[in-house]
C-alpha cells in the first residue's frame, strides 16, 4: 500500500530525485514513519536509508536544495546530516552489524534494506516508506510493525536476547517507548530485558540518563519506572529509589510503601508541569526516608530529617550518574530539602512561617507548592479535599505576605557598610550578627522590611552587643 500523503514534503521529492541521479534506492525509516501512523505530527527528525552511500546521497541532496545546506559528515559511522526548513535529516547507508561482548558499537558492513531493517531495535521502528520513483510512498513492513502499533506493543524484530545483548541501551529504549506511548512490552521481550539486565554496565551513564530523562518527561512516568523496577534495571541506576520499596510492620504498626508513593507523586506532578528538574525533585523527594527510617513504641515509624539527608543524597546521586552539578542540581536539592515545609504550614498558617518559607524558597516558591500539592496521594476523598483546600490557603497567604513584606530573595535594607560606618567598625563578626538579627526580625514580623525600621533596630542591636555609635 502507498502512503504518498505521508511523504508530501518537498524534501522527500528532492531525496527521490537525488537517489535516481545516483542510481541508488532510498527510504525514509524509523520514527518519522512510526509517528505518521500514530498521528504524532511535527517530527523534526527524519532518518534516510540509502542502499549505497548515505554520505554521497546527502551531498547530492544538498546540491539540489536551495542555498545548498551544509552537510555534516561522520565518516566513522558512515552517516551524514543536513538541516532544511528546521528539519534535521540524517542519511546512512543500509548495513549489517556485528557486535563484540564489551561494546555496543558494532562492526559494520554494507547491506540491503532488509539487513538494515533486521538491525532495528523494534518492529515499530523498522517501518519504511520507499522514496524510489517506481514505488514512491510504498510501505515496507517486514515484521508486522503496523500490527504492533495497532496493538500498542513494543517488540524486537529478531530474537530479543540477541537484540538486547548486542546493544543493551535498547532495553532502556524499550521501556522509554512503552512509557512515552503507553504501550505494552511484549512478554518475551520483557523477560529478555530481565535476563540481560547486567549488560547495562557497558552503557555510559550519560546514555542511560538521556533515556531516563525521556521516561521522566513522558505523560505518565510511573509506567516506565515500574518496568525498570520489575526488570531489575532500576536498582542498577537508582538504588536510592528501590531502597524505598516495601512495607515493614512492627507491633501492628506499618508505614506506607514509599516507592509506590513516589511514583504517584511523579505522575501527579507530570500532570501539572513539563519542568524536567521539578519532575526529578518529585522522583527524589523521599529518598532520605530509607536511611532515616526508625521505629519506636511511643510514636511508631519516623523519618526524622529525611529532607535534609535526601538533599545531601541528591548531590552524590547526580555526581555518580554524571548529571549536571550546576543550578539544576541545586534546584532539585532545594526542592527536596523544603519538600515538607508547606505541608507543616497547611495545618497552621502563620505570617512568620510563610515569610520564612518564601525567603528560603525564593523564586522557586511556586515550584515548591506544585511539588507539595503533588505529594497528596491519600485515597480518602475527604482528606484529599481538605489538604488541597489548606494548600489553597497557604498559596493565598504567600501572595499576601509577598505583597506586604517583599521577602522573596530580599537582603536587609541596612548593608554591612552602613553598619561599619554607624559604629566605626572594621570587618568583624558583630557586623554579621547585626545583619542576621535584622533578617530574623523581619522574618519573624518584629519589624517591617523598611529602611528606617531596620536602621533603628540596628542601633538597638549594636548597643546590646556593646558597640558605640560613631
Min mean pLDDT across 95-109, 111-125, 258-272, 370-384 is at 95-109
Residue 277 pLDDT level (bands cut at 50, 70, 90): very high
Q: Does residue 358 surpass a pLDDT of 90?
A: no
Q: Report the DSSP pairing between strands 139-140 and 128-130.
A: antiparallel
Q: Report the DSSP pairing between strands 128-130 and 25-29.
A: antiparallel
Instruction: Please give the helix or strand (H or E) that residue 179 lies within, else none.
Output: helix 169-181
Q: Does residue 251 surpass a pLDDT of 70?
A: no
Same domain, 89 and 171: no
Instruction: Please give the helix or strand (H or E) that residue 51 lies within, else none.
Output: strand 45-51
Tens-place pLDDT, residues 310-325? 999 999 999 999 999 9
Does some domain include residue 25?
yes
Residue 121: per-residue pLDDT: 93
Same domain, 142 and 165: no
Range of the domain at 136: 4-150
- Residue keyed to cell 516558591: 365
Residue 192, Cα to own-chain centre: how many angstroms? 26
Apex 445 CA angle, 440 and 451, nearest 5: 75
Domains identified in the chain, total number: 3
Min mean pLDDT across 158-167, 382-391, 420-429 is at 382-391
CA separation, residue 302 to residues 170, 292, 319 (Å): 40, 8, 28
Same domain, 172 and 138: no
Residue 280: per-residue pLDDT: 98
What's the grid cell of residue 219? 505523560
Residue 359: per-residue pLDDT: 84
Residue 243 pLDDT level (bands cut at 50, 70, 90): very high
Mean pLDDT for 172-185 is: 96
Mean pLDDT for 145-151 is: 97
Does some domain include residue 146?
yes
Apex 400 CA angle, 395 and 406, nearest 5: 110
Can you give the pTM of this predicted structure? Answer: 0.86
Mean pLDDT for 428-444 is: 90
Q: Nearest to residue 12, comparing CAs of 128, 116, 103?
A: 128
Same domain, 11 and 123: yes
Residue 444: per-residue pLDDT: 86
Counting Cβ atoms within 10 Å, is residue 48 exposed (0-12), middle (13-18) or buried (19+)?
Answer: buried
33 Cβ contact partners less than 8 Å away, ≥ 6 residues apart = 6, 127, 128, 129, 139
Same domain, 135 and 164: no
Same domain, 65 and 137: yes
Does some domain include residue 89?
yes
Q: Does residue 77 surpass a pLDDT of 90?
A: no
Domain boundary among 237, 272, 293: 237
Q: What mean pLDDT value characterizes the chain?
A: 91
Same domain, 125 and 191: no
Q: Does residue 374 surpass a pLDDT of 90?
A: yes
Does some domain include residue 395?
no
Q: Does residue 350 surpass a pLDDT of 90?
A: no
Percent of the chain at pLDDT exceeding 90: 68
Does some domain include residue 242?
no
How far apart are the C-alpha atoms of 70 and 113, rounded to whole Å? 27
State the CATH number of the domain containing residue 88.
3.30.460.10
Q: Does residue 413 surpass a pLDDT of 90?
A: no
Does some domain include residue 435?
yes
Largest CA distance in the chain: 96
138 Cβ contact partners less than 8 Å away, ≥ 6 residues apart = 1, 2, 3, 129, 130
Q: Does residue 250 surpass a pLDDT of 90?
A: no
What's the grid cell of residue 213? 530523562
State the CATH number of the domain containing residue 179.
1.10.110.30
Same domain, 82 and 67: yes
Same domain, 230 and 160: yes
Does some domain include residue 17?
yes
Same domain, 125 and 229: no
What's the grid cell of residue 369? 507548592
Residue 238: per-residue pLDDT: 98
Residue 97: per-residue pLDDT: 65
Residue 301 pLDDT level (bands cut at 50, 70, 90): confident
Select, from the ranges 272-276, 360-364, 430-434, the one with the highest average predicted confidence (pLDDT): 272-276
Percent of the chain at pLDDT exceeding 70: 96
Residue 101 pLDDT level (bands cut at 50, 70, 90): low
Min mean pLDDT across 42-46, 63-67, 460-464 is at 42-46
Same domain, 34 and 166: no
Q: Does residue 347 surpass a pLDDT of 90?
A: no
Residue 157 pLDDT level (bands cut at 50, 70, 90): very high
Mean pLDDT for 136-149 is: 96
Q: Does residue 59 surpass a pLDDT of 70?
A: yes
How far apart are the C-alpha atoms of 258 and 241, rounded to whole Å? 9
Domain boundary among 123, 150, 177: 150
Does some domain include residue 114?
yes
Domain boundary among 212, 237, 262: 237
Same domain, 62 and 113: yes
Residue 99 pLDDT level (bands cut at 50, 70, 90): low
Q: Does residue 345 surpass a pLDDT of 90?
A: no
Mean pLDDT for 261-280 is: 97
Q: Please, what is the end-to-end C-alpha distance for the chain in angstroms?
A: 92
Residue 296 pLDDT level (bands cut at 50, 70, 90): confident
Mean pLDDT for 179-188 is: 96
Q: Does residue 267 surpass a pLDDT of 70?
A: yes
Q: Does residue 373 surpass a pLDDT of 70?
A: yes
What residues does 80 pair with on adjacent strands? 73, 91
Residue 300: per-residue pLDDT: 83
Amino acid at each position: 500500500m502507498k502512503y504518498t500523503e505521508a511523504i508530501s514534503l518537498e524534501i522527500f521529492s528532492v531525496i527521490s530525485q537525488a537517489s535516481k541521479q545516483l542510481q541508488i534506492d532510498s527510504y525514509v525509516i524509523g520514527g518519522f514513519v512510526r509517528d505518521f501512523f500514530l498521528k504524532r505530527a511535527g517530527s523534526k527528525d527524519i532518518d534516510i536509508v540509502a542502499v549505497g552511500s548515505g554520505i554521497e546521497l546527502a551531498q547530492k541532496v544538498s546540491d539540489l536544495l536551495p542555498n545548498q545546506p551544509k552537510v555534516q559528515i561522520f565518516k566513522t559511522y558512515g552517516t551524514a546530516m543536513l538541516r532544511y526548513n528546521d528539519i534535521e535529516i540524517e542519511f546512512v547507508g543500509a548495513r549489517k552489524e556485528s557486535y563484540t561482548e564489551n561494546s555496543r558499537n558494532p562492526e559494520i558492513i554494507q547491506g540491503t534494506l532488509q539487513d538494515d531493517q533486521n538491525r532495528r531495535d523494534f518492529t515499530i521502528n523498522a517501518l519504511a516508506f520507499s522514496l524510489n520513483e517506481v514505488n514512491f510512498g510504498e510501505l515496507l513492513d517486514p515484521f508486522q510493525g503496523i500490527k504492533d502499533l495497532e496493538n500498542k506493543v513494543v517488540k524486537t524484530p529478531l530474537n530479543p536476547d540477541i537484540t538486547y545483548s548486542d546493544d543493551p541501551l535498547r532495553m532502556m529504549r524499550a521501556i522509554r517507548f512503552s512509557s512515552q506511548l503507553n504501550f505494552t512490552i511484549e512478554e518475551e521481550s520483557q523477560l529478555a530485558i530481565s535476563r540481560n539486565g547486567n549488560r547495562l554496565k557497558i552503557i555510559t551513564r550519560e546514555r542511560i540518563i538521556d533515556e531516563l530523562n525521556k521516561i521522566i518527561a513522558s505523560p505518565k512516568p510511573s509506567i516506565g519506572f515500574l518496568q525498570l523496577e520489575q526488570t531489575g534495571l532500576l536498582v542498577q541506576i537508582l538504588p536510592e529509589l528501590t531502597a524505598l520499596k516495601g512495607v515493614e510492620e512492627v507491633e501492628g504498626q506499618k508505614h506506607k510503601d514509599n516507592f509506590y508513593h513516589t511514583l504517584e507523586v511523579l505522575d501527579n506532578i507530570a500532570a501539572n508541569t513539563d519542568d524536567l528538574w521539578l519532575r526529578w525533585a518529585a522522583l527524589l523527594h523521599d529518598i532520605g526516608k530509607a536511611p532515616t527510617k526508625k521505629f519506636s513504641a511511643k510514636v511508631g515509624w519516623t523519618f526524622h530529617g529525611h529532607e535534609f539527608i535526601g538533599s545531601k543524597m541528591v548531590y552524590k546521586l547526580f555526581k555518580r550518574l554524571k548529571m549536571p552539578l550546576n543550578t539544576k542540581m541545586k534546584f532539585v536539592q532545594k526542592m527536596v530539602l523544603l519538600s515538607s515545609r508547606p505541608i507543616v504550614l497547611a495545618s497552621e498558617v502563620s505570617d512568620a512561617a510563610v515569610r520564612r518559607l518564601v525567603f528560603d524558597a525564593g523564586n522557586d516558591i511556586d515550584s515548591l507548592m506544585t511539588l507539595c500539592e503533588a505529594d497528596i496521594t491519600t485515597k480518602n476523598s475527604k482528606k484529599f479535599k481538605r489538604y488541597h483546600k489548606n494548600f489553597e490557603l497557604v498559596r493565598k497567604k504567600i501572595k499576601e505576605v509577598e505583597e506586604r513584606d517583599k521577602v522573596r530573595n530580599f537582603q536587609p535594607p541596612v548593608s554591612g557598610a552602613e553598619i561599619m560606618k554607624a559604629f566605626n567598625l572594621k570587618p568583624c563578626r558583630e557586623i554579621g550578627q547585626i545583619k542576621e538579627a535584622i533578617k530574623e526580625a523581619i522574618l519573624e514580623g518584629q519589624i517591617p522590611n523598611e529602611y528606617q525600621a531596620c536602621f533603628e533596630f540596628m542601633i538597638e542591636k549594636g548597643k546590646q552587643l556593646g558597640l558605640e555609635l560613631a
